[in-house]
Structure 1
Amino acid sequence: MQQNILNKVLDDIDLFNLNDPNLQLDELGYEHPKELLYGQRMSKVLFEFMPSPSPELQIAARAQHIGRWLSPRGDYPEGRTGYLKWRTDLSKKHAQLCSDIMRRHQFEEASIEQVCGLLRKEKLKRNPLTQALEDVICLVFLEYYFIDFAAKHEQDKVLSIVKKTWGKMSEQGHEAALALKLSSEASDLIKLALAS
């Protein structure tokens, strides 16, 4: 696959996410559309975690939250059933939006199907690429979003989320997570969760 075609797909994912009306500050205090920033963080962490990821994995990482603002959590019922339905519908929406972009750039259907399978988290723990994507998702959460999440929730819930996150990761993911340069507060919460 030509690198310029891959770059065009990644650029089009970014262009789509530029439409996110929700804004978020980066580490330097600059404001960005929330899902644009998330996608770029996913790509950064992917290359730190896996120096030579496949084009399909690069696309899936960048498109992990494509158009997420179009399906608000508030549109679904409260509780676990509503949450799971929301997550399932989101993954299908991400796959559909991403496949549209890939087809526009004449990607092979096999590659499109592979990316859609990754975005739907198919064969987690059995497909190495799906597992790598899940590891990157968890690493991005821990590095960029965990401490803000922890500040908004009771400690019991925070510890439960850390345990669930840890359970989704591979041994390689665990090693990468333990090597993250986190705040002492974040590190202490993770240690507490893993010890309990």
Structure 2
Amino acid sequence: MSARMQNVLDAIDAANSVDPNMDDNQPETLLYGKRMTAELNRLFPDASEPLQIAARGQHVERWKLARSEYPEGRTGYLTWRRAQGEHHAQVVADLMAQEGYEQDQIDAVGRMLRKQGIKRDTEVQALEDVICFVFLKWYFQPFASKHSAEKIQSIVEKTARKMSNEGRARVLEEFDLPEQLASAFRN
């Protein structure tokens, strides 16, 4: 790992260490970033520096844009998600620029964090697959315990649609899902 990449990752962690939301006795976004890095390293051990930075910065300062400040419903949710992607991309771009990264690398990370090119750009897709694995591994059970079977099925189907064919196949290998949920990853 290059020194400048380590500096960017450390800066992302420092920003996330002040997250007031806690998960497993740690700042929520700090824990999420570490989980993203661990899952990226497992799924894509040869990931480029920009992809490694994007994975760690996926939720940088997420708490600063509260979902409650956006309208209810799908339109409000999508507006909030786009704003989050822009915010994450800008924060990480500033950190990368401070460490002397070239503009094309900064732009690549921005595209990944804004999810521009899912299904077309291999690195954007790799990041999306990692996001889905992190969700399934650490966040699905708590989510499922709070929602109806219909909502759970809908979320699993949306998750599967975002993933690559390889990612969906790997989910079926690694997770013991009930048949109804597993079927979403077979389509």
So what's the TM-score if we normalise by structure 1? Answer: 0.91
**Are 1:64 and 1:119, in contact at CA under 8 Å, matched by a contact in 2?**
yes
**How far 1:179 moved relative to its partner?**
2.9
- What pairs with 1:11-50 in structure 2 (closer than 5 Å)? 11-25=10-24, 31-50=25-44
Q: Which residue, 89, 96, 103 being the options, matches 1:102?
A: 96
- Residues 54-93 of structure 1: CA deviation (Å, up to 9, x unaligned): 0000000000000000001000010011001000111000
- In the other structure, the counterpart of 1:130 is 124
Alignment-mate amino acid for residue 170 of structure 1: S
Alignment-mate amino acid for residue 23 of structure 1: M
- In the other structure, the counterpart of 2:158 is 164
**How far 1:51 moved relative to its partner?**
1.2
- Residues 10-39 of structure 1: CA deviation (Å, up to 9, x unaligned): 1110010001000001xxxxx110000000
- In the other structure, the counterpart of 2:61 is 67
Secondary structure of 2:23's partner? strand
The reply to whether residue 192 of structure 1 matches residue 180 of structure 2 is: yes
- Residues 145-167 of structure 1: CA deviation (Å, up to 9, x unaligned): 00000001111000110011001
- In the other structure, the counterpart of 1:5 is 4
- Root-mean-square deviation (CA, aligned residues, Å) is 1.2
Distance 1:179 1:19 in 2: 37
So what's the TM-score if we normalise by structure 2? Answer: 0.95
| Number of residues of Structure 1 aligned to a counterpart in Structure 2 | 184
Distance 1:144 1:12 in 2: 24
**Structure 1, unaligned stretches of length 5 or more?**
26-30
**Structure 2, unaligned stretches of length 5 or more?**
none
- In the other structure, the counterpart of 1:28 is none
Distance 1:132 1:165 in 2: 14
**Are 2:172 and 2:182, in contact at CA under 8 Å, matched by a contact in 1?**
no
**Percent same amino acid at aligned positions?**
45
**How far 1:181 moved relative to its partner?**
4.9
4+ aligned runs moved over 4 Å, structure 1: none
Distance 1:50 1:154 in 2: 33
Secondary structure of 1:52's partner? coil
- In the other structure, the counterpart of 1:151 is 145
